[in-house]
Amino acid sequence: MTELILQAGVDHVARLAHESDPVRAVIELIWNAIDAEATDVSVTFDHSEMDAISKTTVTDDGHGIGLDELPGAFGRIGDSWKLKATKSKNGKRGLHGRLGEGRLRAFALGSRVEWDSHSRDATGKLLHIVISGTAERRNVFPWDSAPTTQTEPGTVVTIWNDTQKSLALLESDSTLSVLRSHFAPLLLNDDKLQISYWGAVLDPSDAMADRTPIPLTFGENEQQQGLLTIIEWRSGKHRALYYGPDDQHLLYEETAKDLEPQFSYSAYITWGRFDHEALSLLPLGDMAPGDIGSLWQAARGALREHFTGRRRERRRDQLTKWKKDRIYPYEGEPKTESEKAERAVFDVVSGTLSQQISTKRADAQLTLALLRDLRHRPALGARQRRPGAAQPLAGALRRAVLRAAVPAPAGGVLPRAAAGGPGHPGGGVPRPRSRPAVGPLPPLGHRHHHRGPARPVWRVAGGQGGYWSLDRLPAAQ
């Protein structure tokens, strides 16, 4: 009986290459070098006359590509030898790649790829192997081999961007943050490994602000145990979650921008029972069955709790700094319960807004004074507040933000029609104002029509029945 061998077509190989994601391509090529037991990996770029990336080179000092690895590495997709192995070729590291797709990612960086590798055969002699591929024939990899006089093994992967594909993302600061975050657990636990990217050595210890391990218990009767490790970065906007059986096998990644918007961080969730089947269920989130969904929820709950505490710490630190710099708008200790309550509300609001408050001393002092005075600022407008009605600081801040966000019309004139709308008594005739006014704003509650001269009067949510005109205040810098 004749057997038919399933082969991958060019279109399928193109889909596996994920050619719209050059950053992931670089990550996979670095992982290939790490799986080859390299201790020094470097990524460099050459540029064209137009200053665009024309060539990407990934160099490593690993064990190279052997003749016995060629059929599995380049002759088929999937069924990689790494799928059944847990350690690298010489047992030095845990393996990352398992599906045999990493080499195809190189086409996200250009249209021509060459692997120039030196490896030792069974007798210990070095062999030179050159493998090439093109985007036009992604499923065909010509190769050649010959003895060599070179003394050390290693591999150089070169990708030529002949089609002038846009690779500007590779030169952005965000890419360096992504790479540092992705390889942080491995680099922190392997002091012999060095990865350099475009001349910069990836050193997560220099960029870390804090590192916090948090044990996780989950599953039925809380019988399963995992570990959440949170690394907070000093700068950047990178926020991501990584999952795997240990810190050398973080095989699944997802964004974490929806969990915590203020801090730059990476969270690593490890559980010994994570295999490819379990990892494939993570995109289902809390709908994933059994322990996977429970771990997904437990990790997010622990993250939120951690950063709730960190935000409190940040507010306390900022308030302490303002007091030390003598720009805190209160003096001494509060003497009455009312003053204590007012001070407590101010501390929470100003601490929450601290990221939007200028770091310049004079500007910060002015902004803090305005925030304090908003608590006592009387309501303005055609009608005063109802007697005895409170004006919470949070409501005052909401109105101040609205005022600052909408520019005043030229000449400080507010059309009556803008205040009362078509058909409003006396509307349609511009009325000069002695102070700048804002244009029409969408009501937070509903628009209030009243008789008499038209004014921009709105019922504001949280105003407890009071009415305020929306006069423009200076925005905090």
- Each residue's pLDDT tens digit, 452-464: 444 333 333 333 3
pLDDT of residue 278: 93
Q: Determine the CATH number of domain 10-171.
A: 3.30.565.10
**Taking the complete model, does pTM exceed 0.75, yes or no?**
no
Q: What is the distance between the alpha carbons of residues 214 and 212, in angstroms, rounded to a whole number?
A: 6
Residue 14 Rama label (left phi>0; alpha psi -120 to 50; beta)? alpha
Domain boundaries, the chain: 10-171, 207-317, 337-469
Per-residue exposure over 409-435, b if at least 16 CB sit within 10 Å of its own CB, e if not: beeeebbbbbbbeeebeeeeeeeebee
Structure confidence by residue, pLDDT tens digits, 406-450: 444 444 433 333 333 444 444 444 444 444 433 443 443 344 444
Q: What is the distance between the alpha carbons of residues 466 and 168, in angstroms, rounded to a whole number?
A: 54
Q: What is the distance between the alpha carbons of residues 135 and 104, in angstroms, rounded to a whole number?
A: 10
Length of the chain: 477
- CB 133, CB 141: distance < 8 Å: yes
HSE (side-chain half, CA atoms, 13 Å) at 438: 22
32 CB-contact burial (10 Å; exposed 0-12 / middle 13-18 / buried 19+): buried
Report DSSP letters for 65-116, one per residue. Answer: --GGGHHHHHS-SS--GGGT-SB-TTSSSB----SS-GGGGGGGS-SEEEEE
Tokens 């700094």 locate to 321
Regions in the chain scoring below 50 on pLDDT: 1-6, 81, 83, 98-99, 379-385, 387-390, 393, 400-477
Best CA proximity match to 23, nearest among 202, 250, 241, 178: 178
Q: What letter represents residue 242's amino acid? A: Y
Alpha-carbon torsion 150, 39, 27, 283, what sign?
A: positive
Best CA proximity match to 117, nearest among 63, 38, 194, 71: 63
- CB 297, CB 308: distance < 8 Å: no
Q: What letter represents residue 16's amino acid? A: L
